Amino acid sequence: MSASNQKNLVPSSGASVKRPPVVVVMGHIDHGKSTLLDYIRKSNVVAKEAGGITQHVGAYQAEYQSTDGKAHKITFLDTPGHAAFTGIRERGAQAADVAILVVSAEDGVKPQTIEAFKQIQRSKIPFIVAITKIDKPNANIDKAKTSLGENEIYVEGWGGDVPCVPISAATGENIPELLDMIMLVSELADLKADDGLSASGIVIESSLDTRKGVSATLLIKNGRLETGNFVVAGSSFAPVRFIEDFAGKKIESASASMPVRIIGWNEIPPAGEAFATVTNKKSAEKMAEEARSAQKEEKRKDVQNVAQATKAADKLKPEEKEAPTVVSLPIMIKADVIGSLEGVKFELSKIAHDKVRLDVVSEGIGDINENDIKLAESDPRIMIVGFNVEADKKAAAMIERAPAPLQVRTFKIIYELVQHVQDALLAKVPKEYVEEVTGRAKILALFAKDKDRQVVGGKVETGILESGNDVRIMRREAEIGRGKIRELQSKKVRVSEVAQGFEFGMMVEAKIEIAVGDRIESVRTVEKS
């Protein structure tokens, strides 16, 4: 941030105050993250998630009374456990002060558990292990702890110092103890904020609403946000006309550790981007322009690097160059929020085929609109997939009126979207064909020749010879020509096929003159499996 913009920040009062902890809940898919938060917040968030799987970062502030009778506030971030949403989990860990790593007492450590643990380590934040689902018949707390130890996560009493609380989000067992542990860990971290500073923090998520425009969920890490200010995140900025808390209630101001929503951005702010607050529009525009210039410079460097890599590739010998892709499937991706878009792209990047490739021609957040359909109409190969979005009224009418069917599908579950695209991709794989030898025979006699047709005699050594088959004419193991079986006889009777071990007479149409001792291979063309 430039010196000229520094003076436009809201001044500090110099007052350092205690702030609530920001807690990220992480772990493998379906290990009880959302159920835990659901119990704490006493709301039904789980039912709102398609398939019961969290697909966004949920940011919520809860208030509870500790066992000593004191009231505390805790901000929770719920991150998806599905493999597709690595980026969202990464942002959640970066924004938090404390992490809760949930591990099912039934399943133990799973792939996303390990990934979440590594993200926590990279973020260098303290964490607590919550062993969930202890009310289930197959729950085994000791087995879960053993599984943790096998993956170098050592909890208290099992060779380490990581706090561990076995819980049941279904019954509420040990939830108060978990909340007390969160407060104990955060007390040791001595979390403070300057309430007199302008608000700063991180963009948790952003989305586009056709009626309200661009909105973003912000997590305030320091300072106070008030109406009348301007928030800036990268090249995006917005006037703070009103502030919505996590429940959608309008408030006049917000302090550190609070998740808020701001509407009216000039463009979609990237999730994970740091934000700052300034006093006027001019300062906001200047900061955004500086960020935009920096982004352009980064892109210029990227283009330069790609050009250099391409130049180096051109110098490779033909055999060192990668074989060109045969077919591409152009695709347009629309999603409700940035995190969803990242997740979809991440999953789709894993289904590439060596003969076909996905070509993302357009991507964005918000409902499928008129411009999207126009692009699809310009090229019937384009497939539009939407995640947690629908086609707006104009787009839906255009789809209905389209002279040829358009490839437009929307999904609520990410793996259903991925399966749909994968099926479409595989359908475009060019079919490959191979020759299959169905029979081999040795030529024992020559009877007649008339132009390109020869009558020969022989014996089938393997397989079957069939009338109408194409044949390869082999001499000393080398192919010398091709032909076609026009007629077959066995024991002077015309037949459609001759099996292994039987002698035959054959009329062959071929440009090559067959000799005694040659071999005939009967072949057919089949699709390569």
More confident residue, 265 or 302: 265
User: Tell me, which fold does domain 20-190 have in CATH?
Assistant: Rossmann fold (3.40.50)
Reported confidence tier of residue 12, pLDDT bands at 50, 70, 90: very low
Reported confidence tier of residue 332, pLDDT bands at 50, 70, 90: very high
Q: Where are the domains of the chain?
A: 20-190, 194-286, 326-427, 433-527
Structure tokens at 241: 């006309």
- Read off the pLDDT of residues 481-514 as tens digits, 9 standing for 90 and up: 999 999 999 988 999 999 999 999 999 999 999 9
Look up residue 171 and give its DSSP letter.
T
Structure tokens at 211: 């009626």
Q: Per-residue pLDDT for 320 more than 50?
A: no
Note whether 239 and 265 are within 8 A (CB).
no
For tokens 């010879």, name the residue.
465
Out of 334-348, 371-385, 495-509, pick the least confident: 334-348
- Read off the pLDDT of residues 393-425 as tens digits, 9 standing for 90 and up: 999 999 998 888 899 999 998 889 999 999 998
What sign has the CA pseudo-torsion 147, 153, 158, 162? negative
Reported confidence tier of residue 93, pLDDT bands at 50, 70, 90: low
Distance CA 38, CA 40 (A): 5
Cut 0.75: pTM above it:
no
Q: Mean of the pLDDT values across residues 328-341? A: 88
Distance CA 480, CA 477 (A): 9
Note whether 217 and 245 are within 8 A (CB).
no
Would you say the CATH fold of 326-427 matches that of 20-190? yes
- Read off the pLDDT of residues 166-209 as tens digits, 9 standing for 90 and up: 999 889 999 999 999 999 999 998 899 998 899 999 888 888 87
How high does pLDDT run on average in the chain?
84
CATH number given to 433-527? 2.40.30.10
What would be the CATH architecture of the domain defined by 194-286? Beta Barrel (2.40)
Top CATH class, 326-427: alpha beta
Count of positions (residues) in the chain: 529
Q: Mean of the pLDDT values across residues 457-480? A: 94
SS3 state at 422: helix
Q: Mean of the pLDDT values across residues 108-131? A: 90
More confident residue, 341 or 129: 129
Q: Taking the CA atoms of the chain, what radius of gyration do you get in angstroms?
A: 34
